[in-house]
Amino acid sequence: MLARVELRGDPATAVQLQRRFTVTGGDTAVPPPRRIVDFENHTLAGVGIFDNVDAVLASALDVSPAAVDLQLRVRAVADYVASSPGARADLNTRLREQAVPEFQHWAATRFGTTRNRWMGGSDIGTYGSDYRLRTAANLIGIWANTSSEALYFQAGREEDGSPLNGSNIYLIHFPADQLPDAVVQAYWSVILVSVPDYRVVPNRLGRYNLNSHSDLSYDPDGSLTIAVGPEPVPRGR
């Protein structure tokens, strides 16, 4: 459970509202989480993810309309993995050399509609039977609001399709008549993350998020330019 209160220029009232939130617990016993194989974003899970599927699937009900069919498929794969050492090795190779790399590429480049090299607009937060999109959201951000609550966009590619390079300087420019506050009804933010771990990038400025409450300096014509790079960018560049 996550609760957020927007400051919106009135921190005192926001804090008062926050302090009124209460959570009442009952006597429900929560069983310990089922053990799954550890993995990182750059590798993702291998064949070991199929070693304990019955216990894992039984530990949390899935309301997706595709859940039953996919669980049957998962159990079929688990049976194949358990059938012989050769089958286990075969699936692990398929995961490592084909399935995982293809999914990582799709999640980084094709999970949504791309316009001007910014990708977004998909039904993040409302997945239905689209498990690939749901898995991409878990990879990139663990969870997401629905499109009625928030919109997410990401830019990760140059004009020629190559990945953005951390040694380069990139400028995000908003004309004076197209500033974020003019099209966003509430909070907006710009965050730089690394790939494939999708964590904020450490920097000596300690600056990880520019948003609607940041003390930003606008260009003389009223436009806004956000610079991203390894070194500070002089104004007017």
The DSSP letter of residue 200 is B
pLDDT (average), residues 38-63: 88
Whether 115 maps to a domain, the answer reads no
- Please give the Cα distance from 60 to 92 (Å, whole number): 25
**129 neighbors 66 (Cβ within 8 angstroms):** yes
Residue 173 lies in a domain: yes
Q: Which residues constitute the domain of residue 187?
A: 165-237
Does the structure show a pLDDT above 60 at 141? yes
Render pLDDT for 56-101 as a digit per residue (tens, 0 to 9): 998 888 888 888 999 999 999 999 999 999 999 999 999 999 999 9
Q: Tens digits of per-residue pLDDT, 171-220?
A: 999 999 999 988 888 889 999 998 888 889 998 888 888 998 888 999 99
Residue at 68 is within a domain: no
pTM assigned to the model: 0.75
In a domain, 189, yes or no: yes
Question: Residue 223: which of 172, 155, 184, 153 has the closest Cα?
Answer: 172
Contacts of 196 (CB under 8 A, 6+ apart): 41, 42, 104, 108
pLDDT of residue 114: 83
Our count of domains for the chain comes to: 1
Tell whether 194 is covered by a domain: yes
With respect to residue 16, please indicate whether it lies within any of the assigned structural domains: no
Q: What is the CATH number of the domain that holds 174?
A: 2.60.120.600
How far apart, in Å, are the Cα atoms of 87 and each of 70, 77, 84, 90, 95? 20, 10, 5, 5, 12
Q: Quick one: what percent of the chain has pLDDT higher than 90?
A: 37
SS3 for 211? Answer: strand
Residue from 185, 184, 174 nearest 216 by CA:
174
Query: Is residue 217 domain-resident?
Result: yes
In a domain, 95, yes or no: no
